[in-house]
Structure 1
Amino acid sequence: MPEEVGMQEMVTLKTIAETLNTSNDLSLMLDTTVGKLLELTGLTAGWLFLIDERGEYTCVSDYNLPPALMRHGKEPMRVGTCWCVNRFRDGRLQYAVNIINCKRLEDAVEFQWGDTADITHHATVPLRSGERMLGLLNVAAPGKEHFSDNELALLQAVAYQIGSAMERMRLYRAEQRRADLYAHLGEFGSSLSLRVNECTEAEALPGTVAGLLGKHFDWPFAALVQQMQGSFHLQAVYVEGKVWLDSGAPFSTEGIHLLKRVVEHHRAVTLSADELIEMFGQCVADTKCSELSSGIGVPIPYHTPNEPGVLVIATGMCSPNLLRADSEVLEALTEHIVAARESLKLADHRRELARLEERNRLARDLHDSVNQILFSLSLTARGAESMFLGTEPLHPAADVMKDIRALSQEALKEMRALIMQLRPAGLEGGLLSALQEYGTKQGLQVIADRKGLRSIPRSVEEGLWRIGQEALNNIRKHAGVNSANLLLEFNEHEAMLTISDRGKGGAKRRKPASESSLGLSIMRERAQSLGGKLDIWSSSRKGTTIIAVIPLPFESE
């Protein structure tokens, strides 16, 4: 008899091992294995719980459950708790337990949920792979209240087999997930390169990235955040197939703390569903995607240290191994985003160089053609005027020649100022020196002062140069004075240029259609194009003051 029992156990283990190797689909494998185990052992019902690190359980397989446990879509197997799950959570369930009376079945009898098929007890076997505890296997039969040591040993051996197969499948799924993600990463990189080549503004990059994330990956939610001047700003969000750009809504205190945690960690950080909702509020809570169980936040290593970016995605997975694969791909993905941003900066720099070259060409053409013609016209008018001055009585055309000479000289002065604007020379010696020299050529005495010292980008320097030029032109034309004051101030985040005069004011009262009003509008547009602002104060007694404030990028020590 013992030999027959031993042979039966060997047949059972062999059959279970063969069954576990027939599929890579976890649910199908477990259903088949539980059914085969019950068939070989003469038991009638079984179910299997997977329990994660947080102690939350899921019934992933069942076979021939009593009708009382099948009610309302197997609700008794999905909600509530029981003694075997509690012992697993407490770490008290290390080996197969001989008898545990089933609380779920006791509740079924007490609350009259239906027929329990005369099952009152079950054996409970922990599923494990090495030191990792995975879940529980429960088996039962009508009227059976005791399992022998041999039966428990067999169940324990089967549980080890199931645990090893689950670990193998987990590793297989993780590698398959990693391979799929890297394939999508390649597609994402190619698409991003094409879109960057078509993109003309760096501000459009976050929306482009968010849309491509939704297109190439299966993450139901993705968000791009950037820290600027100490504050976090939501740039773009992908959710449910749509891309939403910056709404301007501030982050909560806890959301800011979570974002800082991601930035300071320097690597991918796993986030819970509650943390995702804390960071992005209703944007995540209202999604109709599959229930989100976790997310990942990864810093984007932009080259400006005080302006890091953060990429956050949400996923319906909670397996650490699957999340690890996503984290690896996300860290590689941020490098693509950084490269795309740098490509846009280089393209913008190339366009700026092209604009400067075109301005230089236009300045040369004006100098060689129109400027020379105006100069010749001035000389001709002067010569004609001198001829008429020697006649008696004075020829009527003398006054006309005088007006022509004055107008041609004024036009020549304007043309030279225009050429100077098109081709800014002298910035090598500093912005203030260039503006002082320009003001002197316009007949103004310019008093300049500086507070603070730091390097500024070429685009900011040229923008302030253009604003200063236009302001000095307005002083020469409209202020009625021949002096002006310049003050250039720097702090950690901003450059501020102040141009003031003690003239007759009236800058704000000029008609919108006037030439000077157009100049003020152009100055304001220049400041806004650099992310700054321009303010004007003007009165008849105190003159006019123009202040341009331009934000500056981080300057490393």
Structure 2
Amino acid sequence: MPEEAGMQDMVTLKTIAETLNTSNDLSLMLDTVVGKLLELTGLTAGWLFLIDERGEYTCISDYNLPPALMRRDKEPMRVGTCWCVNRFRDGRLQHAVNIINCKRLEDAVEFKWGDTQDITHHATVPLRSGERMLGLLNVAAPGKEHFSDSELALLQAVAYQIGSAMERMRLYRAEQRRADLYARLGDFGAALSLTVNECTETDALPGTVIRMLGKYFDWPFAALVQQTNGTCHIQAIYTNSQMWLDSVVALSEEGRHLMNRIVDHHRSAVLSMEELVEMFGQVKHELNWDQLAWAIGVPISFQAPSEAGLLVVGTGEKSPNLAKADSEVLEALAEHIIAARESLKLADHRRELARLEERNRLARDLHDSVNQMLFSLSLTARGVESMLSDTEPLHPAVEAMQDIRALSQEALKEMRALIMQLRPVGLEAGLLSALQEYGTKQGLQVIVDRKGIRSISRSVEEGLWRIGQEAINNIRKHSGVTSANILLELDEKEAKLTISDQGKGGAKKRKSSNQNSLGLSIMRERAHSLGGRLDVWSSSRKGTTVTAVIPLSLESE
């Protein structure tokens, strides 16, 4: 008899091994193997729990459950806890054991959930692969209150086979996932390169990246966070197949600490749902957290030391075991984003160089043609004036020549100012130095002052330079004074440039009239184009003050 029992055990193990190799679909394979195991051992019911690293369990397979455990779409198998799951969580369940008075079946009897088919006990067998614990296998039969050592040993051997098969399938799924993600990454990279070539603004990159992540990958949630000068802002979010740009929303204090932790680590990190909610829970949009199980955050290291970025994706995949492939692809995605940003900055630099070259060409053409003709006109008018001044009586055209000479000299001065605006010299020495030099060349004494020190982008510096030029021109033309004051104030959030004089005012009149308001309109448009504002204060007794305020909190240097 022992020899026959041993042969039956061998047949059981052989049949189970063959069954485990028939499919790469985990659920189908487990349903089949549990049914085959019960058939070979003479048991009637069985179920299998997968338990993750956090201790959360899922009934992934069951066979011939009693009606009491089938109620409400198998609710007793999805909620609550029991002795065997608790022992597994505590690390005390290492071998196949007998479980007396199953907690789920006890509840079924107590609360009259239905027929238990006289099942009161079950054997519990841990599923493992090497040192890795995977879950539990429970088997039972009506009236069976005890399992022999040989029965438990057979169940333990079967459990090892199931665990090895599950690990093999996990690795297979991980490789499939990795291959799929890298194929998607190739399509994403090619599309991003084309989009970057057509993109003209660096600020549009976050929205473009998030939109393309939603298109090319299957992550239900994705977000980009930017850290600039110590402030963390959510740039773009993709969720529920929609995208939002939320550049004004700052991370919570907990979210900022989480981001700094990932950025300082310089590697991707798995985030729990609690950490994900801490980071993005303050976003006004309704995010569907129910479809997410965990997330991955990967740092984006830009060249500027004061900047850092974070790419976060969330997934509904229950097991974080597949996170390795996602993390690898996310780190590659971060490199793509960095390269795209640098490409945009280089493209902006090339466009800026092209604009400067065009301005220089135009300045040279004006200097070589119109400027020289105005200078010749001024000399000619002066010569004719001298010739006619020697006649007696005084020739009537003398006064006209004097007017022509004065007008030509004024036009020459205006032309030189225009050439200076087209071809700014000295901006590389700093904004205030350039404005002071420009005012000096316009015949003004300019006193400059600065409060605060921080770097500002080229676009902001050039915008303030143009606004300051126009304000200095207005002082020279309309104030009636020969001095001006310029103050540049810098803090973490904004740059404020104030140009004032003690002249006769009149800016409000020019602003309200349809004439002579072009300069103020241009200054206001420049400020608005940088996301800022322009304020003008003018008094006939205290002069005029022009203030340009440009936000810097989201400015990327």
Note if 1:220 corresponds to 2:209.
Answer: no
Q: Which moved more, 1:244-253 or 1:57-66?
A: 244-253
Q: Sort the Cα spacing of 1:499 and 1:289 in 2 relative to 1 into closer, same or farther, 3 A.
A: closer
Instruction: Kindly report which structure 2 residues correspond to 1:121-270, keeping only aligned pairs within 5 A, or say none.
Output: 121-246=121-246, 248-270=248-270
What is the alpha-carbon distance in structure 2 between the residues aligned to residue 296 and residue 453 of structure 1? 37
Q: CA deviation at 1:212?
A: 0.6
Instruction: Kindly report which structure 2 residues correspond to 1:440-459, keeping only aligned pairs within 5 A, or say none.
Output: 440-448=440-448, 459=459
Q: Which moved more, 1:355-364 or 1:91-100?
A: 91-100
Aligned-partner residue type, residue 75 of structure 2? E
What is the alpha-carbon distance in structure 2 between the residues aligned to residue 486 and residue 470 of structure 1? 13
Q: Which moved more, 1:485-494 or 1:201-210?
A: 485-494
Q: Which moved more, 1:418-427 or 1:309-318?
A: 418-427
What is the alpha-carbon distance in structure 1 between the residues aligned to residue 103 and residue 237 of structure 2? 46
Instruction: Kindly report which structure 2 residues correspond to 1:383-532, keeping only aligned pairs within 5 A, or say none.
Output: 383-427=383-427, 431-448=431-448, 459-487=459-487, 497-512=497-512, 517-530=517-530
Q: Which moved more, 1:189-198 or 1:244-253?
A: 244-253
Q: CA deviation at 1:497?
A: 4.5
The answer as to whether partners of 1:236 and 1:246 remain within 8 angstroms in 2 is yes
Q: Sort the Cα spacing of 1:53 and 1:453 in 2 relative to 1 into closer, same or farther, 3 A.
A: closer
SS in structure 2 at match of 1:246: strand
Q: CA deviation at 1:478?
A: 0.9
What is the alpha-carbon distance in structure 1 between the residues aligned to residue 534 and residue 486 of structure 2? 15
What is the alpha-carbon distance in structure 1 between the residues aligned to residue 549 and residue 479 of structure 2? 23
What is the alpha-carbon distance in structure 2 between the residues aligned to residue 277 and residue 292 of structure 1? 11
The answer as to whether partners of 1:256 and 1:279 remain within 8 angstroms in 2 is yes
What is the alpha-carbon distance in structure 2 between the residues aligned to residue 262 and residue 168 of structure 1? 31
What is the alpha-carbon distance in structure 2 between the residues aligned to residue 428 and residue 250 of structure 1? 34
Q: CA deviation at 1:430?
A: 5.2
What is the alpha-carbon distance in structure 2 between the residues aligned to residue 134 and residue 119 of structure 1? 25
Q: Sort the Cα spacing of 1:415 and 1:277 in 2 relative to 1 into closer, same or farther, 3 A.
A: same
Instruction: Kindly report which structure 2 residues correspond to 1:310-325, keeping only aligned pairs within 5 A, or say none.
Output: 310-325=310-325
Aligned-partner residue type, residue 264 of structure 2? E
Q: CA deviation at 1:538?
A: 3.1
The one-character-per-residue Cα deviations of 1:404-431 (angstroms, maximum 9, x if unpaired) are 2222221111111111111123445555
Instruction: Kindly report which structure 2 residues correspond to 1:236-385, keeping only aligned pairs within 5 A, or say none.
Output: 236-246=236-246, 248-281=248-281, 286-287=286-287, 291-385=291-385
What is the alpha-carbon distance in structure 1 between the residues aligned to residue 166 and residue 336 of structure 2? 35
What is the alpha-carbon distance in structure 1 between the residues aligned to residue 545 and residue 244 of structure 2? 40
Q: CA deviation at 1:19?
A: 0.8
Q: Which moved more, 1:259-268 or 1:226-235?
A: 259-268
Q: CA deviation at 1:531?
A: 5.7
SS in structure 2 at match of 1:93: coil
What is the alpha-carbon distance in structure 1 between the residues aligned to residue 456 and residue 205 of structure 2? 24
SS in structure 2 at match of 1:322: helix
The answer as to whether partners of 2:267 and 2:299 remain within 8 angstroms in 1 is yes
Q: Which moved more, 1:365-374 or 1:276-285?
A: 276-285
What is the alpha-carbon distance in structure 2 between the residues aligned to residue 46 and residue 530 of structure 1? 68
The one-character-per-residue Cα deviations of 1:45-69 (angstroms, maximum 9, x if unpaired) are 1111111122211111011111121
Aligned-partner residue type, residue 249 of structure 1? V
Q: CA deviation at 1:536?
A: 3.9
Q: CA deviation at 1:139?
A: 0.8
Aligned-partner residue type, residue 76 of structure 2? P
Q: How many pairs does the alignment contain?
A: 555
Aligned-partner residue type, residue 197 of structure 1? N
The answer as to whether partners of 1:534 and 1:549 remain within 8 angstroms in 2 is yes
Aligned-partner residue type, residue 29 of structure 2? M
Cα root mean square deviation, aligned: 2.7
SS in structure 1 at match of 2:538: strand
Q: Sort the Cα spacing of 1:456 and 1:95 in 2 relative to 1 into closer, same or farther, 3 A.
A: closer
Give the aligned partner of residue 64 of structure 1: 64
The answer as to whether partners of 1:505 and 1:542 remain within 8 angstroms in 2 is yes
The answer as to whether partners of 2:229 and 2:492 remain within 8 angstroms in 1 is no
Identity of aligned pairs, percent? 80
Q: CA deviation at 1:526?
A: 3.4
The one-character-per-residue Cα deviations of 1:356-407 (angstroms, maximum 9, x if unpaired) are 0111111111112222222222233333333443444444433333222222
The one-character-per-residue Cα deviations of 1:156-182 (angstroms, maximum 9, x if unpaired) are 110111111111111221222122111
What is the alpha-carbon distance in structure 2 between the residues aligned to residue 430 and residue 24 of structure 1? 67
The one-character-per-residue Cα deviations of 1:230-274 (angstroms, maximum 9, x if unpaired) are 221111111122221126334333333333333233221211223
TM-score (norm 2): 0.92
Give the aligned partner of residue 44 of structure 2: 44
Give the aligned partner of residue 84 of structure 2: 84
What is the alpha-carbon distance in structure 1 between the residues aligned to residue 95 and residue 389 of structure 2? 123
Note if 1:104 corresponds to 2:104.
Answer: yes
Aligned-partner residue type, residue 134 of structure 1? L
Aligned-partner residue type, residue 45 of structure 2? A
Q: Sort the Cα spacing of 1:101 and 1:166 in 2 relative to 1 into closer, same or farther, 3 A.
A: same
Give the aligned partner of residue 73 of structure 2: 73
What is the alpha-carbon distance in structure 1 between the residues aligned to residue 308 and residue 534 of structure 2? 28
Q: Which moved more, 1:82-91 or 1:485-494?
A: 485-494
Give structure 1 stretches of 5+ with no counterpart: none
The one-character-per-residue Cα deviations of 1:463-514 (angstroms, maximum 9, x if unpaired) are 4433332222111111111122344566688765443322122334423555
Q: Sort the Cα spacing of 1:60 and 1:489 in 2 relative to 1 into closer, same or farther, 3 A.
A: closer
Give structure 2 stretches of 5+ with no counterpart: none
Give the aligned partner of residue 14 of structure 1: 14
What is the alpha-carbon distance in structure 1 between the residues aligned to residue 395 and residue 268 of structure 2? 89
Q: Sort the Cα spacing of 1:99 and 1:491 in 2 relative to 1 into closer, same or farther, 3 A.
A: closer
What is the alpha-carbon distance in structure 2 between the residues aligned to residue 429 and residue 10 of structure 1? 87
What is the alpha-carbon distance in structure 1 between the residues aligned to residue 315 and residue 545 of structure 2? 55
What is the alpha-carbon distance in structure 1 between the residues aligned to residue 285 and residue 28 of structure 2? 32
SS in structure 1 at match of 2:511: coil
The answer as to whether partners of 1:99 and 1:147 remain within 8 angstroms in 2 is no
What is the alpha-carbon distance in structure 1 between the residues aligned to residue 435 and residue 73 of structure 2? 80
What is the alpha-carbon distance in structure 2 between the residues aligned to residue 443 and residue 477 of structure 1? 11
What is the alpha-carbon distance in structure 1 between the residues aligned to residue 232 and residue 304 of structure 2? 14
